[in-house]
Amino acid sequence: MNFEKVLFAFFIVLALTLNFGFFLGDIDNPAHHDAMELGAALAVSLIATVVKFGDRSQMGAVLLATSLVADLQLAVAAFIWAYAAYAMAGGVDSVIIARVVSLSGGALLANMVSVTLLVAETIIIRR
């Protein structure tokens, strides 16, 4: 068993599951979405991106691209949340949380593409 591949798959799947956990719930209800979970999803997504830098194949390039998309969307979502919480007079309301969750949904889609490609690559290698 290749430990590098296990670590690679672990962080890709963990990024997906954390993002899914944050995304789940009413889109405009701040009580259904935790800032710490968004931060964890961003941190794990960034780690997954770093792990993907070692792969020099075409599939590796696509996996890196999907990870960069997820990182960008999660970073923007975290910035919007932090800006609303600490710089806006109104704080985090239903409009802000809807924006944050929408960006997280885009990152979730990118993570799903990444996991799908990982599974497809695993099936092809097995044959």
Per the structure, the count of domains in the chain is 1
The Cα 105–Cα 85 span in angstroms is 21
The Cα 51–Cα 7 span in angstroms is 8
Q: At what angle do helices 35-52 and 58-86 cross, to 10 degrees?
A: 150
**Rounded mean pLDDT, 64-93:** 95
76 has a pLDDT exceeding 80:
yes
Taking the whole predicted model, whether its pTM rises above 0.85 is answered as: yes
User: For residue range 25-73, what is the model confidence (pLDDT) as tens digits?
Assistant: 999 898 999 999 999 999 999 999 998 887 788 888 999 999 999 999 9
- Domain that residue 8 falls in: 3-126
